Amino acid sequence: MRIYGYKGSTVQQDLNRQLDILSQYNCIEVLTEKMSGTKTNRPELMRLKDKVRAGDTIIVESFSRLGRSTRDLMELVDYFKSKGIILISIKENFDTNTPQGNLMLTVFEAFSQFERDLIVQRTKEGLESARARGRKGGRPKVKERNIEKALKLYNSKEYSISEIVKMSGISQATLYRYIQKQGSSSENTINPTNEKIAQILMSLRVENNNKFVRGKKKARENIERYLKYYYNMKKASSSDDDYIIFVKYKDIDELKNTVYEIFRELENEADAKNCFTEGDASCDELNLNW
CA 277 to chain centre: 12
CB–CB of 226/242 below 8 Å? no
Catalytic site includes residue 9: yes
User: Exposed, middle or buried by CB within 10 Å (0-12, 13-18, 19+), for 79?
Assistant: middle
d(CA 84, CA 67): 19
What single-letter amino acid sits at 254?
Answer: E
DSSP letter string, 19-77: HHHHGGGT-SEEEEE-S-TT-S--HHHHHHHHH--TT-EEEES-GGGT-SSHHHHHHHH
CB–CB of 278/289 below 8 Å? no
CB–CB of 115/122 below 8 Å? no
Q: Kindly name the residue from 9, 89, 162, 168 that is annotated as catalytic.
A: 9
Residue among 93, 35, 100, 111 nearest 66 (CA): 35
d(CA 224, CA 4): 44
d(CA 163, CA 153): 9
DSSP letter string, 225-236: HHHHHHH--EES
Instruction: Please count the CA atoms within 13 angstroms of the CA of 271 that sit on its side-chain side.
Output: 10
* Catalytic residue IDs: 9
